[in-house]
Amino acid sequence: MFRILIVLLFIASPITSRAAVIFSEIAWMGTAENANDEWIELYNHDSGGVNVDGWTISDGVSLDITLSGTIPGRTIVLLERTDDSTVPSITAFQIYTGALANDGRTLTLKRADGTTEDRAVGGENWANIGGDNTTKETAQGTMTGWVTGTPTPGAPNVEHGSNTNTDTTDEEEENESTNGTVKGTSTSWQKNGDGVSISLTMPQTELRLDIEANEIAYVNAPVTLTALPSGIGKHITDSLVYSWNFGDAYTSEGKTTTHTFQYPGEYVVVLRGVYARHDTVIQKVITVLPVTVTLSRTPQNDIVLTNTASHAIDLSGYVLKGGKTLTFPQHSLLLSGKSLTIHRDRVEGLVQSMVALYDGEKEMVASESFTYSKITQVSSPVPSLVPPKTTASLRASKPAIQKTAERDVHASSTAAASTSPILSNLPPTIPLYNVAEAAGASIDAPSLLGNKLPYIGLVVVLLLSILALYTRKSNSDLS
């Protein structure tokens, strides 16, 4: 194996028609002459030229390079920072501006359509791929990973270096021989004015994927999904681009992701992993169950949660909220048809209040409208707001006022009795005749008729006596 940049070539199959441009050497530390003399080396291991117009290289922070031109097949090209004097002996494929930060970055090479072609995960202080800021040795790709070695801009990388990434699969280890080449691989190269041409036939490796996630989930409960790659080396694993389709019209990217299903059902989750010639798709069915919980009270006003669904539910992360907030810890399972009682002091303050259960998406799952059961009782009856008829009477000429007053006062009494929990706080009773008097009605005192009764009786007696005398006289005259 003559070049380290064959590093990622490990990914390339025996010459494929698909373009595969990879990072082969990264001089993030500059040179002994100037720390700003940085460069990035790319290698096209495809048999034909690759047009990179509109392609980009970015570290997601400060470096953003837009490429143009065509990289010939099986050829190394150099991107130099600021000017073409960084590596005087090599003509730069492109000049760029922007620094490679010494604290480490992840470089991503993307095609014009935004898809990822390659990625170099530098890690903290570039520890994942190597390079030395003191000796100015560069990070270089090999068949078995990244190593730190003497700079080789535009030429094959070192065969061996320090800090070699030897995290390979068993299959890769079996294919490695003592001289660093891979069994079954033929390699030839020669320098020309454009760089180095390399022709290889690589051993077959196969990317295998698996999805780590629970097969049962619940509505509005976050689900964590993780991609588990195997069958390839660490460098390829670190460079894989993952895309997720959750089967409910939502997608995501990344090795690990979290998703929340809003409706019950069975969803086919599809995971795709892509890097160079590796492109693998796998699927997993996740059943999403509804959460059906009722919330009630015991006679002591403790809170009772009952699972009315036909399956157990996971209340992990759910929140029971009243005057206080109670969050259920992980693995809080409630079996079908079973109840869970929570002491009122854990969710209520000094005053009892409405209590509700919320899921992981802060959606209300269950609630109660609490009715106070301990209202202050009044031992004495409510005084009547309508006095007895003998207390007062209205003049016969104003019957409408009396009826209106009685109706208004009676309605006021009913409303007060139904809305006030403390009946002793009712306002003083207003006598009916005072209400009528305020409305402009004239009033007879109830005792007036009683005071004239003796005189009326005397008049009646006199009238009866006169009538008797008159009757006698009439009878005498007739005889």
Question: What pLDDT, on the 0 to 100 scale, is given for residue 425?
Answer: 38
As a whole number of angstroms, the distance between CA 244 and CA 479 comes to: 136
Q: Which residue has the higher pLDDT, 457 or 177?
A: 457
For residue 320, give the nearest of 293, 289, 283, 351 by alpha carbon: 293
Tens of pLDDT, residues 27-64: 999 988 888 889 999 998 887 889 999 999 999 888 99
Q: What is the mean pLDDT of residues 77-90?
A: 87
Find the radius of gyration of the CA atoms of the chain.
47
Tens of pLDDT, residues 132-188: 999 999 999 877 788 898 998 888 888 666 654 444 433 333 333 333 333 333 333
Question: What pLDDT, on the 0 to 100 scale, is given for residue 452?
Answer: 64
Tens of pLDDT, residues 310-338: 888 889 899 999 889 999 999 899 999 99
Question: What pLDDT, on the 0 to 100 scale, is given for residue 154?
Answer: 82
Tens of pLDDT, residues 183-236: 333 333 333 334 444 444 444 568 889 999 989 888 888 899 999 998 887 777
Instruction: Please give the mean pLDDT across all residues of the chain.
Output: 73
Q: Which residue has the higher pLDDT, 18 or 86?
A: 86
Q: Is the pLDDT of residue 250 over 70?
A: yes
Three-state SS annotation for the chain: CCCCCHHHHCCCCCCCCCCCEEEEEEECCCCCCCCCCCEEEEEECCCCCEECCCCEEECCCCCEEECCCEECCCEEEEEEECCCCCCCCCCCCEEECCCCCCCCCEEEEECCCCCEEEEEECCHHHCCCCCCCCCCCEEEEECCEEEEECCCCCCCCCCCCECCCCCCCHHHHHHECCCCCECCCCEEEEEECCEEEEEECCCCCCCEEEEECCCEEECCCCEEEEEEEECCCHHHHHHCEEEEECCCCCEEECCEEEECCCCCEEEEEEEEEEECCEEEEEEEEEEEECCCEEEEECCCCCEEEEECCCCCEECCCCEEECCCEEECCCCCEECCCCEEEECHHHCCCCCCCCCEEECCCCCEEEECCCCCCCCCCCCCCCCCCCCCCCCCCECCCCHHHHHHHHHHHHHHHHHHHHHCCCHHHCCCCCCHHHHHHHCCCCECCCCHHHHHHHHHHHHHHHHHHHHHHHHHHHHHHHC
Torsion of CA 38, 43, 44, 45, to 10 degrees: -170
Q: Is the pLDDT of residue 247 over 70?
A: yes
- pLDDT-derived band at 106 (thresholds 50, 70, 90) equals very high
Q: Is the pLDDT of residue 361 over 50?
A: yes
Question: What pLDDT, on the 0 to 100 scale, is given for residue 462?
Answer: 83
As a whole number of angstroms, the distance between CA 281 and CA 232 comes to: 15
Q: Which residues contact 407 (CB under 8 A, 6 or more apart)?
A: none
Question: What pLDDT, on the 0 to 100 scale, is given for residue 451?
Answer: 56
Q: Which of 108-117, 123-132, 152-161 has the lowest mean pLDDT?
A: 152-161
Q: Is the pLDDT of residue 408 over 60?
A: no
- Cα 445 to Cα 391, 392, 437, 457: the distances in Å are 9, 7, 12, 21
Residue type, 238: D
Q: Quick check: pTM over 0.75?
A: no
CA atoms within 13 A on the CB side of 304: 11
- pLDDT-derived band at 96 (thresholds 50, 70, 90) equals very high
Tens of pLDDT, residues 429-442: 334 334 334 344 44
Question: What pLDDT, on the 0 to 100 scale, is given for residue 9?
Answer: 42
Question: What pLDDT, on the 0 to 100 scale, is given for residue 176?
Answer: 36
Q: Which residue has the higher pLDDT, 285 or 180?
A: 285
Q: Is the pLDDT of residue 348 over 90?
A: no
